[in-house]
Chains A and B, each alone.
Chain A
Amino acid sequence: MYTRIKAIIWLHFLRLWRYRWSFLSMVLSMVLWVFITIMGVMLFIPKEQIQYAARETFWIILAWNLITTNTWIIGGWMNFVTGQGITEQHFLCDVSPFRLLLGRVIPLIAVQIGSFIFMGLIFNDSFHTNVFQTQNIGWILLGIVLLLVSGISYGLIIASISLKTSISGNFLEIFNFLLLGIFVVNPTNLPYSQKILFLLIPYTSQIQLIRVGLWGYTDPYMLIYPLCISFIQSCIFVYMARTSIRSAENWVRKNGIKTVGWW
Chain B
Amino acid sequence: MGLLNIVKSSIMLSLYFYKNNKANFISMLIWPYLMLGLVVGLGFFIGDPNSFKRNVGLDVNPLTFFIASTIVAMSSIDVMWSIAGSIVFYRWVGVLEYIFLTPHRMSLTLILSGIPSYILNSTMFLLVLSPLLLLQEGLALGLLKLAVIYIALILGMLPLIGFAVIFASLTLITEEEENFLQWLNPLILLFSGAFYPVYLLPWWVRMISMVLPSTYTIELARLTALMGSPDFGRFTFLIGVLFGLTLIYNLFAAGIVGHSERLAMKKGVV
- Residues in A whose Cβ lies below 8 Å from that of B120: none
- Residues in A whose Cβ lies below 8 Å from that of B49: 44
A36 close to B27 (CB less than 8 A): no
Tell me the number of A-to-B contacts counted with CB atoms below 8 Å.
133
A91: Cβ under 8 A from any B Cβ: no
**B61-103 vs A, Cβ < 8 Å mask (1 yes, 0 no):** 0100010010000000000000000001100110000000000
Contact A39/B38 with A33-B186, A84-B92, A174-B30 known, Cβ cut-off 8 Å: no
A44 to B39 alpha-carbon distance, docked (Å): 10
Please provide the 6 A-B residue pairs with the shortest distance between their CB atoms, ordered closest to farther: A44-B47, A40-B195, A44-B43, A32-B186, A39-B196, A29-B183
Contact A35/B190 with A177-B34, A260-B21 known, Cβ cut-off 8 Å: yes
The residue that A167 contacts in the complex, of B23, B42, B176, B185, with Cβ under 8 A, is B23
B194: Cβ under 8 A from any A Cβ: yes
Contact A37/B39 with A25-B183, A29-B183, A263-B89 known, Cβ cut-off 8 Å: yes
Q: Which size bracket describes the interface of B in this complex?
A: 35 or more
- 21 A-B pairs in the complex with CB atoms less than 8 angstroms apart: A28-B182, A28-B187, A29-B183, A32-B186, A36-B195, A41-B43, A42-B47, A42-B196, A44-B43, A44-B44, A44-B49, A45-B55, A46-B48, A57-B42, A84-B92, A177-B34, A178-B34, A180-B38, A180-B42, A181-B41, A263-B92
Beyond A35-B190, A170-B24, list 19 extra A-B contacts (CB 8 Å): A32-B186, A36-B196, A39-B195, A39-B196, A41-B43, A43-B43, A43-B62, A44-B42, A44-B44, A44-B49, A44-B51, A44-B62, A53-B46, A56-B46, A168-B21, A174-B34, A177-B37, A260-B21, A263-B92
A40 close to B66 (CB less than 8 A): yes
- Residues in A whose Cβ lies below 8 Å from that of B190: 32, 35-36, 39
A171 close to B186 (CB less than 8 A): no
Contact A40/B183 with A22-B178, A168-B24 known, Cβ cut-off 8 Å: no
B178 close to A41 (CB less than 8 A): no
Chain B interface, DSSP helix/strand/loop, else mixed: helix
A178 to B42 alpha-carbon distance, docked (Å): 12
Query: Which residue on B lies nearest to A24, using beta carbons?
Result: B183
Contact A181/B52 with A53-B47, A84-B92 known, Cβ cut-off 8 Å: no
A262 to B23 alpha-carbon distance, docked (Å): 11
A177 to B37 alpha-carbon distance, docked (Å): 9
B189: Cβ under 8 A from any A Cβ: yes
Q: Looking at the assembled complex, report how far the CB atom of A260 sits from the nearest CB atom of chain B, in whole angstroms.
A: 6
- Residues in B whose Cβ lies below 8 Å from that of A28: 182-183, 187
Contact A37/B41 with A26-B178, A80-B92, A168-B24 known, Cβ cut-off 8 Å: no
Q: Looking at the assembled complex, report how far the CB atom of B73 sits from the nearest CB atom of chain A, in whole angstroms.
A: 9
**A11-29 vs B, Cβ < 8 Å mask (1 yes, 0 no):** 0000100010110011011
A184 close to B176 (CB less than 8 A): no
Q: Looking at the assembled complex, report how far the CB atom of B237 sits from the nearest CB atom of chain A, in whole angstroms.
A: 25
B108: Cβ under 8 A from any A Cβ: no
B1: Cβ under 8 A from any A Cβ: no
